């Protein structure tokens, strides 16, 4: 009996000690030198939202008090001979320790945004970088876009459709951001930039290789100014023979494996309309940034995040590298080339509209295909619904015919099978065909034009397609945030005019006095050089 009491007491002490160690294991987030200390004060958003991102500060303070109390109790119990927490139990508790913030009682969607309190120094331009920072802005980050005085991001004036207004190219990639103009090569401009670095959590850039270093903003310098800063970069290539090259979308598609595997076997390589090099790499970088922010909660320090566009594209072409290796084992039987008896070469071939997986698919004509370039449907002959396919197209005999009944038997006849299915689809509009096929769970999809997508009411309802009002160009359509979080609802706000928030940022973010602002402005660091009037 006495032994049981003693054992229970020892267990209680051990539990307390573990709790104490756990509380201790999440230290208060160490304020990074002078720079990040006023984080809670400086945020524009509600204070609670800031506290949430800096959640560990509050939790850490609570944890420290809890630790002290629990340790005092544990020491008293230990003194009574009930046992002492060992280094092992402390270590185990440290590993398992996670101090969760208190659960919000607010309704979903009303508890701020996922990245509230995170401030991004957005040094991006053109498409790849801006898509990344736009996503972060949609999730609530305060994104400050630094632009060259005069013209700003080159896309503001590219592919212009409304005279004197920012182009759709720019507006559709820079929603929810603030804009400040800074000449980063001017001494006073550098001063402003360095102050921004001290007050931001992440710097994102996609300059040509070496450009950031040439501005004097090396990783070492940035890290010394703000050790908590995450420095995220997009380049065309990673280290290797092409690392110094400038890269645009289609170069990345060509060097990342997309072009060699897109198009028809007997035609040239093709680039795809999906911006997998730019927007795809922006997505990769955004994930890298939030992951680094998450790790910073534990380590307290920033790190470099880099994504090469070639790598991003190759990642999206993963299945084609899979096929490259499968070639060693024989022909790729799901490629229609196999059914046509055309031999395979050494590299993954272009597969036209073959489906990438093990369920053969093709694009088939629908009613009015002669006049409508998008009157087509993608049709997948998924094995589990083969019987239904046969019934729908009027070939019930194929269900049991050994030449058609199994996926293996069908592979060499895919062309003939799709020709027969097309005889059925060609009599229906793509929407009628979709409606009928869906009744039988047959996977298919109409080829939707951009016009149809722009007018799609369900995409409008979900906010995937949004109408935005802009002061100089009026209303336009954009793609909203395709990633839906139930507790962090995205609103799409118009892109900033060039330098629209320069004063606001100097004053409210950087805390410059009116005298200092005048001094910086007078130096010419924030404005385009004045052109000399012609003599
Ligand atoms: N103040 C002063 N100078 C500035 C500035 C500012 N605010 N912002 C940019 N600059 C300067 C840069 O410092 C650089 O000067 P140096 O060459 O003298 O160092 C100069 O502007 C040009 O920058 P850049 O080389 O990045 O721009 P570019 O138009 O010549 O090239 C691009 C564009 C996209 C090819 C190149 O930036 C690149 O390869 N980026 C990485 C890959 C990438 O993201 N590509 C996607 C592009 S979207 O298809």
> Would you give per-residue pLDDT tens digits along the chain (535 residues)?
344 444 554 555 455 544 444 443 333 333 344 433 333 334 344 444 444 434 333 334 444 454 455 555 545 554 554 456 666 656 655 555 556 789 999 999 999 999 999 999 999 999 999 999 999 999 999 999 999 999 999 999 999 999 999 999 999 999 999 999 999 999 999 999 999 999 999 999 999 999 999 999 999 999 999 999 999 999 999 999 999 999 999 999 999 999 999 999 999 999 999 999 999 999 999 999 999 999 999 999 999 999 999 999 999 999 999 999 999 999 999 898 998 899 999 999 999 999 877 899 999 999 999 999 999 999 999 999 999 999 999 999 999 999 999 999 998 899 999 999 999 999 999 999 999 999 999 999 999 999 999 999 999 999 999 999 999 999 999 999 999 999 999 999 999 999 999 999 999 999 999 999 999 999 999 998 776 666 5
Residue 480 Cα to ligand 1 middle (Å): 27
Q: Whose CA is nearest to atom 11 of ligand 1?
A: 211
Torsional sign, CA 506, 512, 513, 515: negative
295 C-beta neighbours (distance < 10 Å), count: 14
Q: Is 213 tagged catalytic?
A: no
Q: What angle do CA 82, 86, 88 make, to 5 degrees?
A: 145
Atom 28 of ligand 1: nearest residue by CA position: 208
Q: Measured from the CA of 126, which atom of ligand 1 is nearest? A: 48
Tell me the whole-structure pTM to 2 decimals.
0.84
- For the CA of 207, the nearest atom of ligand 1: 26
Taking the CA of residue 184 as reference, the ligand 1 atom at the shortest distance is 1
Residue 518 CA, ligand 1 centroid: distance in Å = 29
- Ligand 1 atom closest to Cα of residue 146: 7
Instruction: Name the residue at shortest CA distance from atom 38 of ligand 1.
Output: 208
Of 265, 254, 404, 272, the C-alpha closest to 335 is: 265
Positive/negative CA dihedral, 213, 217, 221, 226 = negative
Q: Which of 208, 275, 528 to mutate to test the pocket of ligand 1 (most atoms within 8 A of CB)?
A: 208
**Closest residue by CA, ligand 1 atom 30:** 208
Cα distances from 221 to residues 189, 208, 418, 526, in angstroms, run: 16, 19, 61, 22
Phi, psi values for residue 181, rounded to 5°: -100, 130
The number of CA neighbours under 13 Å toward the Cβ of 9 is 17
Instruction: State how far the Cα of 212 lies from the Cα of 209, in Å rounded to an integer.
Output: 8
Q: What is the DSSP string of 83-108?
A: ----HHHHHHHHHH---PPPPP-SPT
**What's the 126 CA to ligand 1 centre distance in angstroms?**
9
Q: Within 13 Å and on the Cβ side, how many CA atoms surround 291?
A: 10
Cα 457 to middle of ligand 1, angstroms? 39
d(CA 199, CA 356): 46
Q: Whose CA is nearest to atom 49 of ligand 1?
A: 248
Query: Residues near ligand 1 with C-beta < 6 Å?
Result: 126-129, 146, 148, 182-185, 206-208, 211, 214-215, 234-236, 246-249, 278
Q: In terms of Cα–Cα distance, which of 301, 144, 123, 131 is closest to 212?
A: 123
Radius of gyration of the chain (CA): 30
Residue spans of beta strands (DSSP E) within 42-129: 119-123
User: Which among 207, 235, 247, 278 is the best mutation to test ligand 1's pocket, defined by most ligand atoms within 8 Å of the CB?
Assistant: 207
Determine the pLDDT at residue 28.
36
Cα 321 to averaged position of ligand 1 atoms, centre (Å): 32
For residue 316, the CA-to-ligand 1 centroid distance in Å is 25
Question: Which of helix, strand or coil describes residue 394?
Answer: coil
For residue 305, report the distance from its CA to the centre of ligand 1, in Å.
18
Q: Contact at 8 Å (CB) between 92 and 38?
A: no
- The alpha carbon of 142 and the centre of ligand 1 are apart by a number of angstroms equal to 23
pLDDT digits (tens, 9 = 90+) for 418-447: 999 999 999 999 999 999 999 999 999 999
Indicate which atom in ligand 1 lies nearest the CA of residue 182.
Answer: 7
Please tell me the predicted confidence (pLDDT) of residue 91. Answer: 61
- Please give the Cα distance from 204 to 230 (Å, whole number): 8
Q: Whose CA is nearest to atom 7 of ligand 1?
A: 148
Phi-psi region of 394 (alpha: psi -120 to 50; beta: other; left: phi over 0): left
Helices (H), 226-359: 249-255, 279-299, 309-316, 318-326, 336-339
Residue 307 φ/ψ, nearest 5 degrees: -135, 130
257 with 314: CB under 8 angstroms?
yes
Question: Atom 8, ligand 1: which residue's CA is nearest?
Answer: 148
pLDDT of residue 489: 95
Q: Which residue is closest in CA terms to ligand 1's atom 12?
A: 211
Active-site hit among 278, 323, 419, 503? 278
């Amino acid at each position: 009996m006495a032994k049981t009491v003693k054992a229970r007491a020892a267990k209680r002490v051990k539990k307390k000690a573990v709790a104490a160690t756990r509380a201790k294991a999440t230290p208060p987030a160490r304020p990074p030198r002078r720079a990040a200390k006023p984080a809670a004060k400086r945020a524009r958003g509600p204070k609670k939202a800031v506290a949430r991102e800096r959640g560990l500060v509050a939790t850490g303070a609570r944890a420290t008090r809890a630790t002290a109390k629990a340790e005092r109790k544990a020491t008293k119990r230990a003194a009574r001979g009930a046992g002492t927490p060992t280094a092992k139990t402390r270590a185990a508790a440290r590993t398992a320790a996670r101090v969760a913030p208190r659960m919000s009682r607010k309704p979903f969607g009303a508890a701020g945004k996922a990245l509230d309190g995170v401030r991004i120094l957005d040094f991006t331009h053109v498409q790849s970088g801006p898509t990344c920072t736009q996503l972060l802005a949609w999730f609530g980050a305060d994104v400050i876009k630094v632009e060259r005085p005069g013209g700003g991001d080159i896309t503001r004036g590219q592919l212009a459709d409304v005279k004197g207004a920012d182009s759709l190219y720019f507006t559709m990639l820079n929603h929810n951001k603030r804009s400040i103009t800074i000449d980063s090569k001017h001494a006073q401009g550098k001063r402003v930039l360095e102050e921004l670095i001290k007050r931001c959590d992440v710097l994102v850039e996609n300059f040509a290789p070496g450009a950031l270093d040439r501005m004097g903003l090396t990783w070492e310098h940035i890290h010394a100014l703000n050790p908590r800063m995450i420095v995220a970069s997009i380049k065309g290539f990673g280290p290797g023979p092409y690392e110094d090259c400038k890269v645009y979308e289609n170069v990345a598609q060509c060097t990342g494996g997309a072009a060699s595997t897109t198009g028809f076997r007997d035609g040239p390589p093709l680039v795809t309309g999906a911006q997998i090099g730019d927007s795809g790499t922006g997505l990769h970088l955004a994930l890298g940034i939030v992951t680094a922010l998450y790790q910073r909660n534990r380590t307290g320090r920033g790190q470099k995040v880099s994504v090469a566009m070639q790598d991003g594209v190759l990642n999206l072409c993963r299945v084609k590298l899979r096929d490259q290796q499968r070639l060693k084992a024989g022909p790729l039987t799901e490629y229609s080339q196999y059914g046509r008896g055309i031999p395979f070469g050494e590299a993954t071939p272009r597969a036209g509209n073959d489906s990438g997986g093990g369920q053969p698919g093709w694009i088939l004509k629908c009613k009015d295909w002669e006049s409508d370039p998008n009157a087509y449907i993608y049709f997948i002959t998924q094995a589990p619904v083969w019987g239904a396919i046969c019934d729908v197209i009027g070939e019930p005999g194929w269900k049991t015919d050994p030449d058609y009944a199994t996926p293996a038997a069908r592979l060499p006849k895919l062309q003939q099978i799709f020709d027969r299915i097309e005889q059925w689809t060609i009599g229906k509009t793509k929407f009628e065909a979709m409606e009928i096929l869906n009744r039988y769970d047959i996977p298919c999809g109409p080829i939707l034009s951009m016009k149809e997508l722009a007018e799609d009411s369900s995409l409008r309802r979900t906010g995937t397609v949004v109408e935005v009002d802009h002061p100089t160009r009026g209303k336009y359509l954009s793609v909203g945030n395709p990633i839906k979080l139930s507790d962090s609802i995205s609103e799409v706000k118009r892109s900033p005019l060039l330098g629209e928030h320069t004063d606001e940022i100097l004053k409210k973010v950087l805390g410059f006095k009116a005298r200092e602002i005048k001094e910086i402005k007078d130096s010419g660091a924030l404005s385009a050089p004045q052109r000399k009037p012609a003599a």
